Structure 1
Amino acid sequence: IQNVLTGEIETAIIFALPTVGPAIVGSMAVGDVYVTATFMMVLSATLIVGNIIADMLLVLLDPRVRQFGEH
């Protein structure tokens, strides 16, 4: 997560893109715990949902991967 967030912040600063990275850094600098925690929870939930979707697609597309109960 750290590398994703760091890369996103650097990209936003270099290309002056309107992303959430500078907002996260700003909230950390000011000490706004609630905004920082909300950003981290949303980022974590997004990664968890993405991993679940990737696992489901892997089971559907790769016949070598077994589901529960199959031998």
Structure 2
Amino acid sequence: RLSAFYLQDGLTRIKFVEEIKQVVDKEFETARRAKTDEECIVCIKNLRAETDNLLEQERLLKTKSAQLYAKV
């Protein structure tokens, strides 16, 4: 949702979505290999933290407290 609204460049949008997908896939893989409930809970907390970070970034972009910059 964030990438579609804020990232106009298609390649940048794809890279952003892929990066988020990699984070999620890594946490799910770690959760699958977890041997204890505590290890699994850590993965869930990591995913929640990532979600919170993305929501905070969205808030900053909406309020114009942050801006998008491109490096060439």
TM bucket normalised to smaller: 0.3 to 0.5
Structure showing greater relative contact order (alpha-carbon pairs closer than 8 Å, 6 or more residues apart): 2
TM-score normalized by the length of structure 2: 0.43
The structure with the largest alpha-carbon Rg is 1
| TM-score calculated relative to the size of structure 1 | 0.43
